Structure 1
Amino acid sequence: MADMLVIVLVLCLCRELEGAVPQQRDQPQQWTEFETSLNQRLATMERQLTDKDVQIRNLETKLESHITVYSKYVTDNEREIQKKNIEINQLKERVRILTQKVNCVSSQDTYNDESVPTSDAVQINSDQTITGSESSERKSPRHRQTRVTQPSSVVAFHSELTQEPAVSKGNTVVFNHETLDEGQGYNPVDGIYIVPETGTYVFVWVMFAEFRQHIQTLLMVNGAVRGSSFSDAQEVHDLHQATSVVVLKVNQGDHVFIKVGHTSVTSVTFHYDRNYNGASTFSGWKLT
């Protein structure tokens, strides 16, 4: 009986060993498949991380580009605001000058009303008379544009640019500070000289180019170029002065002014330093 039990146990053990052999043979293949799957997943994750890094770098580049653009936009706006502030100050100065001129004209009109006879006709020359209504028109605030001076009187003007305005190409340079105006021809509000008498005139203008700029200025008569000047300080950190003289035959009522021509920048600035360098000026006088 004991021998039978031993035999049975041996047979059972052999069967278990036979069943275990295939399992041990299949185990390396399962580990290989698991390892392959794991490697594939890790490779996929690495590719995803690489793609994310590329996306992050692209976003950082775009962000830097946007920051650069917006910084330039802010800087340009700040410069534009500064220009607008300068223009506002110029307008305020023009209003102040215009108010002074209106007050001056009003005072002259009051004096003329008291000194001119109240008759219906006012004697102007020995061979010319105008009515009272025409006399009122000649004394309007714009009477200086049509004023006729005596041929023997002195006709001359001189004005300075005591500011540093930003002037664009094609615009008139307004010399805002008038120091002489015999003949009442120059207007410091718009920078235009209206010729009071027909004759031969000398016109002189002096311009200062700001650092690192070149400026061409033109002498205009009724919209036509009659003279040119060029002040060049573009290649050096220095101030360059240009002076031009033109002798012209002009008629009464002609409009003479200085206009900006070619420039190195969009809006040029004329240098002003009365105590050291000087100022840009515009002058003229009648020869005959």
Structure 2
Amino acid sequence: MYSSISIIVMLRLFLLISCILFANGSSFEERLKILEIIVDKQQAEMDLLKQANIELKQENLQLNHDNTELKSRVKELELDVSRLKGDGMHNNPSYESHINAAMYDNVDSINKSRKLETSDWHGTPNVQNDRNTHGIASLSKKELLQSERIAFHIYLSSNKCFNNHQIIVYDTEVLDIGNGYNEHDGIYIVPESGIYVFTWTFIADLAEYAVTEIVVNGATQGWTISDGSHQSILYNPSSGLVLARVNVGDHVFIRRVQGRGCTAYSGGYVQPTFSGWQLSP
């Protein structure tokens, strides 16, 4: 922009000088003075144009800076909106109220369409659908279990001695959706029929070994061997995994078969576990 304006100004100056030099009736001194005045005027205009150009550049830099700040703010707002749409919404009271209302509307709809009774929910009497926490009691136990996939995860909290043919009692419950595991006897009672995945780990103490098995409804479905008997300085965990089709009420447990010593080791970075989940109904 600056160069094009300069060319225009120089052309104007050239034309004026040409007119003066070839004008008649003026002495050389007069024409020279006129030229000096014109040159001074044009120089003043050039200075003004230079100053205007500097100011325009400064404005352009400021605009670029403002544009960068606006882009940064837009990104921040997009992140805020994303958090509100995602995990952050569970901390929003109005959102929680909306979800609770939707949940109880769904319960009401199920109860009205199916006319459910609660005789199979531990004898609980029918409850009016008044959108309170007791409204869920009108759903059957089976439907409540189906609302969340059956799963359990238990571990052995400390060293225990289990002899041959004895059930290994994993004593600390981490998860038990369906309330099927008993941490006092080590037996898992299937709460709902289906295809299940069962997995377990066992760790024999140093200088000992143990064979373990998983028993599903009275039948052995798999074995593992944890062998720490060969003067090893490291523990040797064993693990097993089986898939089984089971029915409501079937018993599943882990049992020691044979070995040397009786210790099931738990400590440090090793911990025996017993887990399972429903793969499909």
How high is the TM-score relative to the length of structure 2? Answer: 0.50
How high is the TM-score relative to the length of structure 1? Answer: 0.49
